[in-house]
Structure 1
């Protein structure tokens, strides 16, 4: 069976993909660890060192940045690609300023309040007061911890513009986004879709940035189609 490598987003752990791990339990699954390195390139290398020889690759948000780096480094090893709630562009000056503020806040005031500060941006507006979802997000962030958070932020700030390489992607590709994602909005997913030949775009209704948890059934259904060759567009 074709293995799947899932790469979580910033401050996220394997819990982010819990519904999909259950759905694909008939095949080998690896959830990548992106907490130990300070650059996207180093994270990509560490994943390639531990991943199967060939595999399907799915990354959400920061996981998407890493997945695009893996595609640059070892496209021959990737059987198919899913880019979920992510962005192919580098950070803007304003985004870098905000991220550096979060690092400063973590260093000077501690990490405890950071997950609560970030939570509203992670989910659809309708889930802003959902205590169960918030508890899940805070649990993932707490497991990640402040030191790893700072490393992740530095990696995200330093990432490159992936747009020039997207046209080179030849494997079946799914681009998915929540219609209420404010961090990496549908316009960014549309841009990725238009740049990757033959890719499929899926917009999930009533869903924010953490699509795999917010709309697990809808996202899993799209991923099952993605794993089925016959349902994907062939490259143009």
Structure 2
């Protein structure tokens, strides 16, 4: 019998984020996509998502914003979790510089039509060896255009204020694997290394030749990590 694994995407991502990973898992696992709901804040997102999940033994994978949401679910509902994998996210508050970027983006979006994610921003999310790979770029562009301006404003507005969950995660009895690409500039490695250094339940894995978009850049390696983790 195949084990069910639930997947939470990141900002402006949908199930296509996992399109290269899931075919490598389906022989042994049943992947289930849980979209990020529109919400007024992170707590309301948690309440909506937890209602869609089983009462126990949840294998949960979260990417970027979905990784933070997965961490918050584990902190609030540890008795329902079996294993947790956090991709491209560190469970802390956003740095001041990122908050300022988000505020500028929101101000711009209020005054302009949204034409989709700029190519320069996509490249910044990718490892230098992957920045010209059109199959990856097309997926990121398509996800962003499908979700559109309204979703982007909602996600930027209502997920910027985040608690630091590091201490709470380290205190629950739950196997947690943090994965990040070697060129992911959005992840605080110091936080992850400190968090995982003296806790047998917490592990940190860095993946070569990947930036922030690890599921699209190194699907074979990620699928192998998921299999080993479960």
Is TM-score (shorter-chain normalized) higher than 0.5?
A: yes
Q: 1:110 aligns with which of 113, 129, 135?
A: 113
Equivalent residue, structure 2, for 1:14:
15
Aligned partners of 1:80 and 1:94: how far apart in 2?
32
Q: Residue in 2 aligned with 1:67?
A: 70
**Does the 8 Å CA contact 2:24/2:220 hold for their aligned counterparts?**
no
Q: Retained in 1: the 8 A contact 2:117–2:141?
A: no
Q: 1:203-218 residue pairs with structure 2 within 5 A?
A: 203-218=206-221
Q: 1:51 to 1:101 in 2, by over 3 A?
A: same
Number of the residue aligned with 2:51: 49
Select 1:30's aligned residue among 12, 27, 32.
Answer: 32
User: Residues of 2 paired with 1:43 and 1:196: CA distance?
Assistant: 29
Q: CA offsets per residue over residues 113-149 of structure 1, 9 Å max, x none?
A: 4353531232112222322211110111112211111
How far off its partner does 1:7 sit?
A: 0.6
**Distance verdict in 2 for CA 1:164–1:172, change over 3 Å:** closer
Q: How does 1:159-174 map to 2 (within 5 A)?
A: 159-174=162-177
1:134 equivalent among 129, 133, 137: 137
**Per-residue deviation, residues 197-217 of structure 1 (Å, max 9, x unmatched):** 422221111110111110001
C-alpha distance after superposition, 1:158-199 (max 9, x if no partner): 221112212123222211111111111544432442375422
Distance 1:208 1:185, change over 3 A: farther
1:143 aligns with 2:146: yes
Computed over aligned residues only, the root mean square deviation of the Cα atoms, in angstroms, reads 1.9
Using structure 1 for the length normalisation, give the TM-score.
0.88
**Secondary structure of the equivalent of 1:167?**
helix
Q: Structure 1: 5+ residue runs without aligned partners?
A: 228-236
Contact 2:181 2:208 in 1 (8 A): yes
Q: Is the 8 A contact 2:180 2:205 kept in 1?
A: yes
Instruction: Give the conservation status (yes or no) of the 8 Å contact 1:169–1:197.
Output: no
Q: How many residues align?
A: 227
Query: Are the equivalent residues in 2 in contact too, given 1:179–1:206 (CA < 8 A)?
Result: yes
Change (3 A) 1:51 1:43: same
Q: Which moved more, 1:100-109 or 1:112-121?
A: 112-121
TM-score, normalisation: structure 2: 0.90
